[in-house]
Amino acid sequence: MLDSSSQSLDALETSPLPLRIVILAAGAGGMFCGSCLRDNALAGALIRAGQRVTLVPLYTPLRTEGESPAIGQIFYGGVNVYLQHASRLFRHTPRLLERLLDRPGLLRFAGTLGAQTPPARLGGLTLDVLRGEEGTSAKELRRLITFLADLQPDIVSLPNLMFIGAARLLRRELGVPVVCELTGEDLFLGQLAEPDRSRVHDVIRERAPDVTSFVATSAYYADQMAAYLEVPRSKIDVVYPGVAKRFLREPVASRPADRPPTVGYLARICPEKGFGRLLEAVALLRRMPGMSDVQTVVGGYLGAGDRKWFQSVMRKSAAEGVRYLGELDYQAKLNLLDSVDVMCVPTIHPEPKGIYVLESLARGVPLVLPAHGSFPELIESTGGGLLVPPGDAAALARTLAVLLADAPRRAQLAHAGHAAVRDAFTEEVMAARMLECYHRALGQRESSGQHAVVMAGDAR
């Protein structure tokens, strides 16, 4: 994988004609979302490479770190989609009213409330969106297609499986390939209540042939989704996330003398990400010889639905030496990474992306992670950390102790991981590999007998 990064970049730089690419990105209300950040970074990197990209927000505005190339309009506005699902009246309202309901401030507020709704209660709404032109949000899909038709795109990228219902009409009316990203929707889908969970699965599998190709954020997730979608594994490409070059910092030679051994955690604060497991391991760690002064610095979004759980696990573990900094912006994230010796996000649910793994290594911070999800392939590819058996807090504590006490080993892992990210996991490499996927999708469309693609730059 590392050897192919320079070839991918060469392909990006020598692409003969720019493509007109539409990237649809689903907003996450008021919180930083790994998928939103990835889509925003991808769009920016493709634009810098000369591609003609339109980044279109769905549901809510995108919250990003720094400037965003996203357009100002919101499609599939969260309030409109919900009201159209809940009442026939709102499926025939004038656009003027819909514009009022699509105001960014209202959508952010609604997104915050929506994030508090358990997935088990969202089965009906999910089904309606998945049914595309046959669902209650068909009006939103038609409005999106009318807008995209004026752009005359060469290819359209869906943000996740929740929008697979749009693929059929997009391909039919725009005559373009549709790529669907796979970025971690399995957690939400698995939490739907029956019978909605089975119905959603049926609709997704029924709609899967409408997608030209899929792109997963790790080989692990590609394998999982091939089975879930019942599609050939060859129909799913793998494009790892990338970090901005400005994120890179050479590893620091040693810990400052006045700083105690410090473990970092940078992810959403919830059971699935393993925050409770980390507290359990840290409590064991602080009872080990030479580790009584270990500190833990934590950053990440804490949703209203997880606050009671958060308070409970903090009390239960006594949380000695644990400091929660809240949700972090770009600079605060850098400050956290630069203040720790080891990063640890001991996920309970297997992680499909692992963006925080790459961010940690970009700052020269090694990791200790459970051996499941995308972590084994990321650690193998970068050499930037150690793996422990999933679910084993004692093994996690022992491995953290070994690494915190061994500065040369930490430095070795940090330098290896930093070099790997610098060479093979940047935004530019991500964009180059995604562009290869787009061109393959265009080739599949041409070989299937559909009308020939008109490349951007030709007369239209």
- What does the pLDDT average to over 109-129? 64
Domains of the chain as residue ranges with CATH? 2-242+428-447 (3.40.50.2000), 245-424 (3.40.50.2000)
Of 99-113, 231-245, 385-399, the poorest mean pLDDT is in 99-113
Q: Identify the pLDDT of residue 437.
A: 96
| pLDDT: which is higher, 434 or 102 | 434
Task: Look up residue 373 and give its two tokens.
Answer: 């999800």
Report the C-alpha gap between 119 and 332 in whole angstroms.
30
Report the C-alpha gap between 46 and 427 in whole angstroms.
9
Report the C-alpha gap between 241 and 343 in whole angstroms.
18
Report the C-alpha gap between 201 and 204 in whole angstroms.
5
Is the confidence at residue 451, as pLDDT, over 50? no
- What does the pLDDT average to over 172-179? 96
Q: Identify the pLDDT of residue 384.
A: 97
Angle at 60 between CA 57 and CA 66, to 5 degrees: 65
How high is the mean pLDDT of the chain?
85
Model confidence pLDDT, tens digit, residues 150-170: 999 999 999 999 899 999 999
Provide the percentage of residues in the chain whose pLDDT is more than 70.
81
- 420 Cβ neighbours under 8 A, 6+ residues apart: 2, 361, 381, 382, 383, 384
3-state secondary structure 230-252: CCCHHHEEECCCCECHHHCCCCC
- What does the pLDDT average to over 437-453? 68
Is the confidence at residue 75, as pLDDT, over 60? yes
| pLDDT: which is higher, 453 or 105 | 105
Is the confidence at residue 229, as pLDDT, over 50? yes
Model confidence pLDDT, tens digit, residues 347-363: 999 999 999 999 999 99
Provide the percentage of residues in the chain whose pLDDT is more than 90.
62
In this structure, what DSSP letter does residue 193 have? Answer: P
Report the C-alpha gap between 81 and 59 in whole angstroms.
8
Is the confidence at residue 391, as pLDDT, over 70? yes
- What does the pLDDT average to over 180-206? 93
